Structure 1
Amino acid sequence: MPSKFINHFAGKIVRKDLTKRIKEGANVPVYVLEYLLGMYCSSQDEKIIEQGVQNVKDILSRNYVRPDESQKIISKLREIGSYTVIDKLTVKLNYRTDTYEAEFSNLGLDGVPISNTYPSKYERLLAGGIWCIVQMEYFYDEGDKNRVPFIINKLTPVQMPSIDMDEFKRAREEFTTDEWIDIVLRSTGMEPNKLNEREKWLHLIRLVPLVENNYNFCELGPRGTGKSHIYKEISPNSKLATVVCPPETNIEFGEISLYI
């Protein structure tokens, strides 16, 4: 099966154990880690995989912006003149100046000018934002103090900026239903070989709100049973809201999670 996966999904297959190894030391979304691992570790050669894991660790340690270290990174950018960061970018059109401007989630910057090329090429920048590796420069113009000193030289998405569904549909035809169920479950971080048939379907039902419009789904259970894991980790397009229930509702566990 692994070789079959790689043949039909080259560059899109990652080992979940590698994700776990890196996730423990990096507070970045799983889909970002898996995109990087897919780039550097899409192989069955252990040496290539280990080198790829080290590359991903190096990239994250050098470039990932922790929110509590944003000012330190900005200071480095000012002192050095250039710096590369990994952050979530959202782009908006400033209709007063007819220019696009970027907002950095962790770095805390907004109003940073960005080339028209990027929102045209990666439309998800305009629809919720995407995680990117961004090469930046700092230039303070004494003659124009109103000018934003931050410059975006190059932007490279580190999550899929778009998905070719036809490609996935063609590849799906090469797998049986049972094989495909196992692929989907592994993609969510579950090991299907340790689940019986009923347990597999219980895990799959959690995915329905991600693919079906106007589907209401409520799951009650203790903390730590995986109710919110899927919605927080598998997609940047889902939002998790926790509602604390008043005592008179008699809901034993005190809260309900809503998936939007």
Structure 2
Amino acid sequence: MNELEEKIKRAFGEVAVNKGLALRHEVARLPRFISEYLISKYCAAYPDRETAFSKLAEVVAENFPEPKDKDRVLYKLKRLGIVHLMDEFKVSIDLKRNLYLLHIPCLQIYGALADEGIVRKFERTLSGMWGLGTLEYRPDLPENMDETIWPILLIDIEPFQVYNIDLRGFIENRQKFTLNEWIDLLITTIGLNPNAYSQRQKLLQLARLIPLIEGNVNLMELGPRATGKTYLYRNLSHYTRIYSGGAISPARLFFDARLRLVGDIATHDLVAFDEVSRIRFTNPDEMAGKLKDFMVDGFFERGTLKRAHSGCSLVFLGNIEKEEGIPTKEIRYALPDIMQDSAFLDRIHGLLPGWEMPKIMKSEEHLAQGIGLAADYFAEIIHEMRKESFRDIINTHVEFGDNFTIRDENAVRKLASGLIKLLF
């Protein structure tokens, strides 16, 4: 352990973790913010590291099935009456039928049931919560059920990510580090090796976090494959939603008028559109209008939902090849037609030059092996920091030239506020 790692341990205690352990195959299928939580838990329970990983591997193998194992799990549930599953459980409320509907992603089940007591105790299940759930087979459904309801009831859950967040303590600990030390700590925390990146590349990596720490930021990043664009958003925080190609509807993104349910923009801190050139919208004209409206000030409406607001940030990720360090074609051609409109591009607050990022080719070279902050802890910190604003500081110390439009000024304030939160 080097001097900086010892300093991190002294300052942050139990939330300072060995990031290299999350690379082990036993937990490779889990998002990093979950694997690091479980590793810390099992290493604390079993002082011998190999014993801890052996126990953890058994739990993951038994309780986190792959989609192909769905029938095996359902057979076990029917035979035993109860199964335990590790997943991100999400509850939605059906007022017409007075039901708490449960989504079980690992089984691709959207119409199971949740006990009301679970929802009261853990309201985070309404936006999605990772945990070890106890599912009970309930073949005798009440009369208000129909064939769309699965006879499965969530009767208990042991939640993951259960830190008591002390934001003031985090800010005080920041003052114990120099700026360069802090940057290296953050780079390690997001799972990368700071020694593999230049100072500019480190700052560009951290700029990817701005939409997570600052509300209503619209960011675009174009660059080659395998530079970690999607990896960060998928593995750092459970407050994100990623669309990877395919069709997206206004109902899914904004509001489903039929089910009277708000979409992902209303329930997440960040929605990322990965491989934007392959994204298809089921109603392009409606989607284009609603996206552009939302990107101005965070307000949206659809059907019976009037003038709703969300602080959700939007990130648009696209692949573009480079030659001698620069893109091989004009960047707008990496975007779908709906996003090539100048009115849409004017609403983007920042363009990250992903072509400046090196490809992540070798884990021992590019991925973190040392001490950083636990991903789930850091995700909660930056989630809380979204409530803070440093725009007044920017207004006091920054003077905009005559060539800046109002949108330009707003973009600078948002991006600078996010970077100030991250770095200082």
Matched-pair identity in %: 28
2:189 is aligned, of 173, 187, 194, to 187
The CA distance in 2 between the partners of 1:9 and 1:124, in whole Å, is: 26
User: What SS does structure 1 have at the residue aligned with 2:35?
Assistant: helix
Q: Deviations over 1:8-66 (max 9, x none)?
A: 4344333222111136x6422121111111222369x9x53333222221211110021
The CA distance in 2 between the partners of 1:256 and 1:118, in whole Å, is: 43
User: What SS does structure 1 have at the residue aligned with 2:222?
Assistant: coil
The residue number in structure 2 matching 1:157 is 159
Q: What is the CA-CA distance between 1:7 and the residue it aligns to?
A: 4.3
Q: What is the CA-CA distance between 1:256 and the residue it aligns to?
A: 5.1
The CA distance in 2 between the partners of 1:56 and 1:111, in whole Å, is: 30
User: What SS does structure 2 have at the residue aligned with 1:106?
Assistant: helix
Bigger Rg over Cα: 2
Report the TM-score, using the length of structure 1 for normalisation.
0.80
User: What SS does structure 2 have at the residue aligned with 1:236?
Assistant: coil
User: What SS does structure 1 have at the residue aligned with 2:15?
Assistant: coil
Q: Deviations over 1:162-204 (max 9, x none)?
A: 7443443344344343332222111111112343322321221
Unaligned runs of 5+ in 2: 243-271, 279-328, 340-347, 349-424
Taking a change above 3 Å as real, the CA distance of residues 53 and 3 of structure 1, as seen in their structure-2 partners, is: farther
Q: Is the 8 A contact 2:90 2:102 kept in 1?
A: yes
The residue number in structure 1 matching 2:8 is 5
Q: Is the 8 A contact 2:42 2:53 kept in 1?
A: yes
The CA distance in 1 between the partners of 2:221 and 2:141, in whole Å, is: 58
User: What SS does structure 2 have at the residue aligned with 1:217?
Assistant: strand
Residue type matched to 1:112 in 2? A
1:18 is aligned, of 8, 11, 21, to 21
The residue number in structure 2 matching 1:52 is 52
2:276 is aligned, of 235, 243, 253, to 243
The CA distance in 1 between the partners of 2:193 and 2:177, in whole Å, is: 18
Q: Say what the alpha-carbon RMSD is for the aligned residues.
A: 3.4
Q: Is the 8 A contact 2:22 2:28 kept in 1?
A: no
Mapped pair 1:124 → 2:157: no
The CA distance in 1 between the partners of 2:16 and 2:44, in whole Å, is: 6
The CA distance in 2 between the partners of 1:218 and 1:137, in whole Å, is: 44
Q: What is the CA-CA distance between 1:76 and the residue it aligns to?
A: 0.8
The CA distance in 2 between the partners of 1:254 and 1:17, in whole Å, is: 38
Matching of residues 126-145 of structure 1 within 5 Å: 126-127=126-127, 129-141=128-140
Taking a change above 3 Å as real, the CA distance of residues 222 and 115 of structure 1, as seen in their structure-2 partners, is: same
Q: Is the 8 A contact 1:130 1:161 kept in 2?
A: no
The residue number in structure 1 matching 2:170 is 168
The CA distance in 1 between the partners of 2:15 and 2:161, in whole Å, is: 11
The CA distance in 2 between the partners of 1:98 and 1:14, in whole Å, is: 43
The residue number in structure 1 matching 2:228 is 226
Aligned residues: 252
The residue number in structure 2 matching 1:95 is 95
Matching of residues 210-221 of structure 1 within 5 Å: 210-221=212-223
Matching of residues 33-52 of structure 1 within 5 Å: 33-41=35-43, 48-52=48-52
Q: Is the 8 A contact 1:65 1:87 kept in 2?
A: no
User: What SS does structure 1 have at the residue aligned with 2:87?
Assistant: strand
The CA distance in 2 between the partners of 1:162 and 1:190, in whole Å, is: 26
Q: Is the 8 A contact 1:136 1:150 kept in 2?
A: yes
Residue type matched to 1:152 in 2? L
Taking a change above 3 Å as real, the CA distance of residues 89 and 143 of structure 1, as seen in their structure-2 partners, is: closer
Q: What is the CA-CA distance between 1:161 and the residue it aligns to?
A: 7.7
Unaligned runs of 5+ in 1: none
Q: Is the 8 A contact 2:37 2:161 kept in 1?
A: yes
The residue number in structure 2 matching 1:178 is 180
